[in-house]
Structure 1
């Protein structure tokens, strides 16, 4: 998860300001490149859901990590927007494969060991990878290295991670069974609401997740602080699933989802309205401290209310989430180019998150 998600997907955020400055990329260009990655993730998730990889999960999981590593380094080899779009699209596919197949292996082993509670640590890898990528890019920024060096360094760190995974990965066959045909998903009021809320959340969180470090750069707060903000986001993400999980037993999944969206909306607003260093730092901590948990618990709630069709619910919600992720950076980039900053785009994202909270809370009332 550190390699395939924390670095493979999210190292783009701390590298982006340097790329925009050196290559003259507009905010619209940057948003389009980000969306290509999320489109790849969406398509990869659906392809991975097929039965073609049964019995080959280990090889596909490792292969996707190798591909993610190679594609990370390849970003340093070009300055073409078209090439960036293709590379980040393929990196999105690779990260989706890693997510699906590695999680299948890990969760199968945890279930057999009776330690499903440890799944929170699996998700913590996303935040850990974000923090590591910020440390690496921050050190290189302090040394006045180019954005190309950032991508190459990310590939080197990823390669080390792949080697560690290769040595540790369990080679026993998983406990998976052949998928049982599911009935058509019953689109109840609760299912419709949580699906809509999940798509809105995808739009709302990704604006800050893509442009937070660019916001810091635009405010002239220093290269060192850019790294600090993304490190803070990553570290906040490490225990987030475990911490929010403590509240699920008290509030239920729908309410935790809703509260998480509200907390994240506060951070999104703070990132562009609170002056000085405090605003982006608050935004980073509240982003990292919420988005991984909201993503996980939203899917869990969908599976809970899907009855006999959990896989269909997962596919539907993944599609809604993916559409939100794809539209978010494109819309935010266009708005930023028109207004000259990311304030209006971030305020729009916060409103969308609040709407997601309201819709999700309503879904909980309908169960």
Structure 2
């Protein structure tokens, strides 16, 4: 990028809108509609997890495409294209109930969302380049506020919609979030016109020191494997515990609200450490939030769980973006974040379906939440081994 834009905070808001659509809506709203779709269509847990696995598989393809295209296509163009096509995919998902249609559009939503999400982090890293504290805050706000607001809106609307109109109303849930994405699309597209980033091929980019980044990469893979289980099956697990739609909505709104404020909690940590410490601390928090409601059942512990989980879950992308910014030259940021995203996406693909199989085997999806917590702790241990890189 040649200089900072004139309205950097408004530009950041546009980038955050993109994260809200590609993460808050395209990836996580499914967890809110899963109980209704599972009951209405007669699925088991493995089948229910399959749709998020299809979405994650699409995300792998999108992440790899982004890593290839970023050499010849400007990141702003990839961001805008991903935002428009993800919106179309969300609207299309609600039009036909057949499993093949759902699988197709969940996978395509993953492909398109990865393009926008991968480039959003690299674009935010370019803001406030001469002010490390504000740069760290911008990166944290991007992932926290963007995805958090998407989850707040989804959590406030979808459980109530299904509670009032019944499980058969789930297709309207997709139409609703697709329409909301369409309404915020102009701000995201305006952002792409305000940033002037060169193509990767226009600037020399040294090879990434991947061997020295292995602990951080392994920690991020652990995040991809573990976090998605909670967000995929939380509503289904709460429904099994006889939670009503209004309490489910409360938990998701609380979860999303904590995601929104999480950047302010983690900003000092991201700015201070160039090592794997931020990712380690974040993963421990996500693991604790995943395990608590199973270990200590009850509505009160669900509130504590959602609070801890929400304060941590959207910060790993901020941690690896900050790690890349502090340890690599600017011309490597885009390729580094894209590579991290591919590693994350591959790991994320296994999580939902594997968790569904475990839930079917034990007849209790809570066992899957505990398994996910164990994987997250392992990722935290590995990330702790990451040391700052010498440029």
Provide closer, same or farther for how the CA distance between residues 337 and 49 of structure 1 changes in structure 2, counting only shifts above 3 A.
Answer: same
State how 1:251-266 maps to structure 2 within 5 Å. 253-266=275-288
Structure 1: gaps spanning 5 or more residues? none
Task: Tell me if 1:239 matches 2:261.
Answer: yes
CA distance in 2, matches of 1:243, 1:294: 13
Which deviates more from structure 2 when the two are superposed, residues 138-147 or residues 57-66? Answer: 57-66
> Which residue of structure 2 aligns with residue 121 of structure 1?
141
CA distance in 2, matches of 1:60, 1:310: 15
Cα offset, 1:350, TM superposition: 0.9
> Which residue of structure 2 aligns with residue 361 of structure 1?
384
Cα offset, 1:313, TM superposition: 4.3
Cα offset, 1:310, TM superposition: 5.3
Cα offset, 1:179, TM superposition: 3.7
Q: Is the 8 A contact 1:302 1:317 kept in 2?
A: no
Q: Is the 8 A contact 1:205 1:287 kept in 2?
A: no
> Which residue of structure 2 aligns with residue 154 of structure 1?
177
> Which residue of structure 1 aligns with residue 344 of structure 2?
321
CA distance in 2, matches of 1:69, 1:28: 27
1:67 to 81, 85, 88: 85
1:215 to 221, 229, 237: 237
Provide closer, same or farther for how the CA distance between residues 253 and 277 of structure 1 changes in structure 2, counting only shifts above 3 A.
Answer: farther
CA distance in 1, matches of 2:97, 2:281: 41
Structure 2: gaps spanning 5 or more residues? 1-18
2:191 to 169, 176, 190: 169
Cα offset, 1:100, TM superposition: 3.3
Q: TM-score, normalised on structure 2?
A: 0.84
Task: Tell me if 1:81 matches 2:105.
Answer: no
Cα offset, 1:360, TM superposition: 1.3
The alignment yields a C-alpha RMSD, in angstroms, of 2.8
Task: Tell me if 1:91 matches 2:91.
Answer: no
> Which residue of structure 2 aligns with residue 133 of structure 1?
154
SS of residue matched to 2:94: helix
Cα offset, 1:273, TM superposition: 2.4
Cα offset, 1:61, TM superposition: 3.1
Cα offset, 1:107, TM superposition: 4.6
Which deviates more from structure 2 when the two are superposed, residues 329-338 or residues 241-250? Answer: 241-250
> Which residue of structure 1 aligns with residue 353 of structure 2?
330
Q: Count matched residues.
A: 364
2:297 to 275, 279, 291: 275
> Which residue of structure 1 aligns with residue 12 of structure 2?
none
SS of residue matched to 1:238: helix
Which deviates more from structure 2 when the two are superposed, residues 21-30 or residues 248-257? Answer: 248-257
Q: TM-score, normalised on structure 1?
A: 0.89
